[in-house]
Structure 1
Amino acid sequence: MINEQTVEKPKPVKKGMLDNVLEQFDHAADQIELNPNVRKILRITNTEIIINFPVRMDNGDVEIFTGYRVQHNNALGPYKGGLRFHPTVDINAARALAMWMTWKTSLAGLPYGGAKGGIQIDPSKYSSSELERITRRFTYALGENIGPEHDIPAPDVNTNAQTMAWIADTYMSTKSTSERSKNMHVVTGKPVGSGGLEGRDRATGFGVFLTIKFWAEKNKVNLNGKKFIVQGFGNVGYWSAHFLENEGAKMVGVQDAFGSIQNNDGIKVEDLFNYSKSNSGSIVDFPEASAMDGSDFFGIDCDICIPAALGNQITPKNANSIKATLIAEGANGPTDVEGEKILLERGITIIPDIMCNSGGVIGSYFEWLQNRNGELWQLDEILEKIEKKLRTTFNKVTDYADDKKVDLRTAAFALAIERIEKAYILRGIFP
């Protein structure tokens, strides 16, 4: 006889981002009774590229790096999505992020599909010259798998305008002299002096702020005096906080890869930003705030929580401790499925990532158009265009959610998937 006390219960399997996005997709697909054939297509990716490539380091040694580019779907137009440099980059992460990009571009009404990728690397361990060689070698290896009318990368975690400039230059150098100028829009998020868009640096954070503002207007909430916390104080987190502070809201907690800080009386956004720039990008030891245990971060007393770092940050382990009444997802997939169920049961509103952080890809679309058409727009024009497009999306999503009595993520996914379904039904499937 087996002693029951000695039998170990199976441990619950931790879900990854791919599990989450597929569960989100299936839930929305059931909601709209998605065509079963289209469902089969959208549950898988079109193309998956894994590249192992050598790069010579500053000391003369050669290191081998692994890069990824996953192209999920292009039914609505060229693949679009960022490239990230991070140790967590792998094929499943790229698959999940590519799928989210497909829903994001579709929901925003853009003529794009979804892709994602990057290099499995900790960029802090490499010099600028090494990162340039790594980026250029990866770009060369990708070859014709990217292109201005085929697959258009953009910045993501640990990549920036400089990274995009290296990619654009490398890609264009493979073309004939007469063709180089026609390929500048192979990437977006470039420096303004190299074909970039004025305001692209703040587009994602501005979009996060706008969706919060639209939500506040709809619910007759005054943002002045509201407390918010930000996880991730990079480009997205900083600009989200910047615009919120301008509305009178108060930042009371910040977490980055190095540590967590809080001050219930408020942390000045610009002061922290300037400090982090002088402190190797870290918020640690900021004199106007107190250090805190990172595991307690989401439990800070606040009204608005902005997870703007990596995926799977809000889980069943911390969802019950969240005191915010609104979560605005600045990152891709920051809330896992089980964590979300807890939040919704508690009456907490979640502005889903595919709407909340879509200001970045909307800005990228305008940069792509600017390069493609030889136009030049000013900052105020760009921000106005982003606001107009996001307001349209927000109204569609909230109207659908109110009409169907569903949460905002289900509404956003349903609208995004319906647009793609319509394209397949109208065009048919070859042959």
Structure 2
Amino acid sequence: MTTITATLNNKKKKAPLKGMMDNVMEQFNSAADHIGLHPNIRKILSITNNEIVVHFPVKMDNGEVEIFTGYRVQHNNALGPYKGGLRYHPTVDIDAARALAMWMTWKSSLAGLPYGGGKGGIKLDPSKYSQGELERITRRFTFALADNIGPEHDIPAPDVNTNSQTMAWIADTYMSTRPPAERTANQHVVTGKPDGSGGLEGRDRATGYGVFLNIKFWAERNHESLNNKKFIVQGFGNVGYWAAHFLEKEGAKLVAVQDAFGSIKNIHGIKVEDLFNYTKANNGSVAGFPEALDLDNEKFFGIECDICIPAALGNQITKQNASKIKARLIAEGANGPTNVEGEKVLLEKGITIIPDILCNSGGVVGSYFEWLQNRNGELWQLDEVMVKLDKKMKESFDKVYEYSEKEGMDLRTAAYCIAIKRIEKAYLQRGIFP
């Protein structure tokens, strides 16, 4: 597994950034004010339903025991089971998990899925552990979560530094704890599994493909071609790679990439597959790629380009660096990559932002398809999956774009308004127990 660490684009000390929870609450309240959200429902949606923190021991390869802290925050399940990823990263804490869980609620609602929002993970740097240790850590974490997850209750998925193998370990551990007659019926406790273990063909590329589709839809709305458009990508993991892969097929040109190890640029273009193959042989790092020049991390967002895709971690575009951005479009492949102050700067500059809850929702849509496939005992082919994903993403984009134009607001606020209204409707129709 490749570890992604927060990129420091400003080495000088600045005023502390707002936490992700501050950002998500400011975004939520702005949209809630606009739609006149019922005050009682605002109270409910402003807090999480459940917050699970577990401390658990795991024996390391050297025989020593290490204690880990894991989190699972369940924000809201008015529309269906909690849904959201598990990440393994040193920045995982309760504040981040709360914000990410809330974003998942909006994302699932906006996509029209029968899901709520949840998120979590383990506070660790996976690069410091062997594959065997990571397996034991994952299985012990799953056991510690016990009945707090389940295929009709809370369905985890891959996120930063977790992958299909992680999900296979979770599924196997969870099913092993169920009564024998129920084990095979619980395969959909997680999504993002390997193809041979109940996974969905195309799930690996669903998030990145969704980012690409949103960019394509934006270009079509503006009567533009993606051919020869220059783009930059922060984070060359699963999301960044697949978004770049599909953009290149449309004739767009990758000119700069940044990851945890460094930044590279080539104004004449970087071949996506060549870079991908290089990272596989170089511990996941883009640094030192022979067909590009090394670039100062601080200069990355200032590269001349048409499209910028932040696909790493949250709080990467801030008030301090947003003024440097020359792109016309920001396509948020990561969750919360642009903080509130940074967004204000971008909007003042006339830069369009396709918000995370729309732009990277291909992942949760793909997860929904996998969940349905497992639930119904079906096997979907890749072509079928991509057609379904294309249709679902187009519906969401058109809905947000048209609401934005009608109400005269930015795409993020429009996306939030649509998502929150759907949840409000569910509460108003059902009432609040007792």
1:318 partner amino acid: N
Matched, 1:261 2:269: no
2:277 aligns with 274
Q: Percent identity?
A: 76
Please give the secondary structure, in 1, of the residue aligned with 2:320. Answer: coil
1:90 aligns with 93
Distance 1:240 1:85 in 2: 22
Please give the secondary structure, in 2, of the residue aligned with 1:138. Answer: helix
Distance 2:293 2:17 in 1: 32
Aligned-pair distance for 1:13?
4.8
2:65 aligns with 62
2:416 aligns with 413
1:99 partner amino acid: M
**If you compute each CA radius of gyration, which structure gives the higher value, 1 or 2?**
1
Q: Deviations over 1:110-164 (max 9, x none)?
A: 0000000000000000000000000000000000000000000000000000000
2:334 aligns with 331
1:30 aligns with 33
Distance 1:159 1:349 in 2: 30
Please give the secondary structure, in 1, of the residue aligned with 2:92. Answer: coil
1:376 aligns with 379
Matched, 1:294 2:292: no
Matched, 1:306 2:309: yes
1:194 aligns with 197
Matched, 1:41 2:44: yes
Structure 1 unpaired stretches of 5+: 1-10
Distance 1:136 1:327 in 2: 37
Distance 1:80 1:304 in 2: 30
Q: Deviations over 1:267-319 (max 9, x none)?
A: 00000000000001111100000001101100000000000000000001110
1:166 aligns with 169
Matched, 1:386 2:389: yes
Distance 1:178 1:41 in 2: 37
Q: Which of 189, 208, 222 is the aligned partner of 1:205?
A: 208
2:244 aligns with 241
Distance 1:124 1:58 in 2: 14
Matched, 1:81 2:84: yes
Matched, 1:424 2:424: no
Q: Deviations over 1:82-118 (max 9, x none)?
A: 0000000000000000000000000000000000000
Q: Which of 392, 396, 401 is the aligned partner of 2:399?
A: 396
Q: With structure 1 as the length reference, what TM-score do the two structures score? A: 0.97
Aligned-pair distance for 1:70?
0.1
Distance 1:127 1:220 in 2: 50
Aligned residues: 421
Distance 1:196 1:399 in 2: 34
Distance 1:366 1:427 in 2: 27
2:110 partner amino acid: L
Distance 2:311 2:133 in 1: 27
Distance 2:86 2:204 in 1: 15
Q: With structure 2 as the length reference, what TM-score do the two structures score? A: 0.97
Aligned-pair distance for 1:177?
1.5
RMSD between superposed Cα atoms in Å: 0.6
Matched, 1:130 2:133: yes
1:367 aligns with 370
Distance 2:138 2:241 in 1: 25
1:149 aligns with 152
Please give the secondary structure, in 1, of the residue aligned with 2:429. Answer: helix
Q: Deviations over 1:369-415 (max 9, x none)?
A: 00000011100100110110110011110110000000000000000
